Amino acid sequence: MAFILFTDIMSSERLFHQRHPVLIGLFFMVVLTVLFFGGITFFASTLLQNKTNYLLGVSNSIGVIDIKGVITDAETVLADLESFRKEDGIKAVVVRIDSPGGAVGASQELFMAIRRLSREKPVVASMGSVAASGGFYAALGARKIVAAPGTLTGSMGVIIKFANLEQIFDKIGYQSQVVKSGQYKDMGSPDRSLTEAELTLLQELINSVHDQFVGDIAESRALSVAEVKKVADGRIFSGEQALQYGLIDELGNFHDAVRLAAQLAKMSQELPNLVYPPREKSGLLGMLLGKAPQQLWEGLALGTPILSYEWDGRASLAGH
């Protein structure tokens, strides 16, 4: 009797599999999905715990923070600066900058946060290949700025770009209808040119934000506004030229910046311990755990009209 019952059950299972293959497949997909995201959650909690606890036991050290690539968001660097500010074991901070600049708001946030930290602990900005426009702006918050002789810096200006596809749209017969609440609501639309009134309005905006940049340069570098305006026309400088104009303090490399930070903090070691925030995870895991990949976000940002402190040269000095 038991054997017959078992046989009937097995037959029923085979019949169910044959009649409902899609349901079986969906069931296994759900199970695999739950296991996958369960593993992701476990790794995420481990990584977050490590990021929170990486400063445990740190003493008499120098923190190092990197600002690399186009500046689109300051949130991660702001959090790292705040962690170093609160940690008594971090005696000084070196901010390593290799960036052509980026969004105005994010660049100003970095400048203000670095300046706030430098009022409590020595902060030295170390410029890499490029530290221009918003990258230079961020460096202004430090007590001292160190650059290589061939570092590209400066580009003290503001820019905003709008794509004009009007002629292309005309050729393909594309037309748009716009309903707007105000005269300037569709300003910068790609299907038409800017009007004279819009150009005037945008220039006033650019001038206002540029004046903010000039004022912070003058205050941070102990220069007059007139002196800054002579060179704040978008031009770039080598590190050597920047030193002549009083825009940086010393010529040197990253290790020179570390030594300078140690001196300002009155640290006894010639080679102090360096502490870096945990690096972002890359690949699929990094995409799932963190924000959008930096390169993708930068690509999107470059195609979007945005008010920028950014050098658009896309180059660096190369020795051959």
Catalytic residue list contains 144? no
305 part of a folded domain: yes
Question: Ramachandran region of residue 236, left (φ > 0), alpha (ψ -120 to 50) or beta?
Answer: beta
**pLDDT score, position 175:** 84
DSSP assigned state of 13: H
Non-local (6+) Cβ contacts of 165 within 8 A are 190, 191
**pLDDT score, position 304:** 55
The tally of CA atoms less than 13 A away on the side-chain side of residue 277 is 24
**Number of folded domains in the chain?**
2
81 part of a folded domain: yes
Same domain for 19 and 96, yes or no, is: no
User: What is the CB neighbour count within 10 angstroms for residue 17?
Assistant: 11
**pLDDT score, position 309:** 72
What is the Cα–Cα distance from 129 to 147, expressed in whole angstroms? 9
User: What is the CB neighbour count within 10 angstroms for residue 125?
Assistant: 29
Candidate list 180, 185, 230, 291, residue with the active-site label: 185
Same domain for 39 and 177, yes or no, is: no
pLDDT of 299-320, one tens digit each? Answer: 454 455 667 777 766 444 444 3
Strand partners for 154: 132, 236
Separation of CA 218 from chain center: 25
**pLDDT score, position 241:** 98
CA distances from 101 to 134, 150, 201 (A): 4, 18, 24
Same domain for 122 and 148, yes or no, is: yes
Same domain for 127 and 232, yes or no, is: yes
Same domain for 26 and 59, yes or no, is: no
**pLDDT score, position 320:** 38
pTM of the entire predicted model:
0.76
145 part of a folded domain: yes
315 part of a folded domain: no
Non-local (6+) Cβ contacts of 237 within 8 A are 152, 153, 154, 231, 245, 247
Same domain for 20 and 145, yes or no, is: no
Catalytic residue list contains 180? no
317 part of a folded domain: no
Same domain for 281 and 182, yes or no, is: yes
Domain end marker among 15, 31, 50: 50
Pair 127, 66: CB distance under 8 Å: no
Candidate list 99, 118, 133, 155, residue with the active-site label: 133
**pLDDT score, position 271:** 74
Record the tokens describing residue 20, joined without a space: 């409902």
Same domain for 34 and 98, yes or no, is: no
For 279, the domain range is 54-310
Same domain for 133 and 185, yes or no, is: yes
**pLDDT score, position 150:** 96
The tally of CA atoms less than 13 A away on the side-chain side of residue 52 is 6
Same domain for 97 and 155, yes or no, is: yes
Q: Which residues of the chain have pLDDT under 50?
A: 2-7, 9, 16, 44-52, 284-285, 287, 289-292, 295-296, 298-299, 301-302, 314-320
**pLDDT score, position 188:** 84
